[in-house]
A and B are shown apart, each in its own frame.
Chain A
Amino acid sequence: MERYLLIESRDPFEAAPAAHSYALAASLARAGNDVQLFLVENGVLAARAGGAAADGLGAAARAGAAVLADDFSLRERGITSDRLITDVKVTPLDTVVDGLVEGRKTLWN
C-alpha cells in the first residue's frame, strides 16, 4: 500500500483535468492505497454543494479517498462549512506539510 496526497488547485469549471484528478484519486484508493485529495485555491470551488462537480468528488470519497479542503481557500471564497458537499472535510494547510513529512507521494495539480 502506498500513501498519496493529490493536491488539486484547479476547479473543473475552468480546467477539465481537475476531474481527471478526482478519478485518479478514486482509482488509487480502489487499488488499496491511502489517498488524500486536498482541494486548495480555486480547487475548493468544486466543493460547494449543488455544484456540477459533486459527483466526481463524491466518487473519490466513496472509493475511499479522504477529500479535504483548505480552510483559508474556502473562507477566501465565501464557502461556509454548511454549504459544502458532505464528502468534504475542512482542514488547515498544515495537512499538506503533515502529508509531506509522512512521506506521501505528493502531486500538485
Chain B
Amino acid sequence: MTNKKTLTFALMDAPFESSRTTTAMRLFDIAARRGYDIHVFAYEGAVALTFAKQQAHPNAVHGRDVGEEDHPLTKDWVAAIMAEAEANGGKLDWVNCGLCVDERGVGDAIENTRRGSPGDLWSLSEASDNTLIIATR
C-alpha cells in the first residue's frame, strides 16, 4: 500500500518580504522528503518566487563577496525541492497565476513551472488530500 499523499498549497507573498515564504518552503521540503506530490498555486507576489532572473549579491556590511554571502534565491530553493521530491518518488508541480505574472513582468520563470489560473487551484484542490492557503497580509 502506498503512503503517497497529494497536497496543494496556495502562496501569495513576494520573495524577500515575509517569513511565510520560508515556512512554506519548509513545508514543501518536508512533503518532498516524504515523496508526496505537491501542487503549489502561486498567486500575486508569489509568482516572483520562481523568477529566473533573481541574482545573488555580495554583502559589504558583513565583508562577504558573492560567493561567501551565498545569498538564498527562492528560485533555487524551489528547484532544489523539485529535485528532492523527484528523488523520493514525488513531484513538485508549480503553477504561477498567469495574470499575476503578466502584471509583474516576471514571465521568465525557471524550468518545470507552468502558467495557470484560479481554475487550476480549484481542480488541483479537488484532486488532493488537503489544501493549505498561506495568504499574505
- A residues sitting closer than 8 Å to B (CB atoms) are 9-10, 15, 40-42, 72, 93-94, 96-97, 100-101, 103-104, 106, 108
* Contact of B129 (CB < 8 Å), options: A41, A42, A101, A108: A101
Docked CA distance A40–B129 (Å): 23
Q: Interface size (B, Cβ < 8 Å)?
A: 19
Docked CA distance A11–B135 (Å): 16
B23 with A106: CB separation less than 8 A: no
Instruction: Assess whether B55 is interfacial by the CB under 8 Å rule.
Output: no
- B residues sitting closer than 8 Å to A (CB atoms) are 5, 7, 19-20, 23, 26-27, 30-31, 34, 36, 129-135, 137
- The chain A residue sitting closest to B134, CB to CB, is A108
Jot down 16 A-B pairs with beta carbons below 8 A, ordered by A.
A9-B19, A9-B23, A40-B23, A41-B20, A41-B23, A93-B23, A93-B26, A94-B30, A96-B132, A97-B34, A100-B130, A101-B7, A106-B131, A106-B132, A108-B134, A108-B135
Residues of the A chain whose Cβ atoms lie less than 8 Å from the Cβ of B133: 108
B7 with A42: CB separation less than 8 A: no
Q: Which 8 pairs between the two chains have the least Cβ-Cβ distance? A: A100-B130, A41-B19, A101-B5, A97-B30, A108-B134, A106-B132, A93-B26, A94-B30
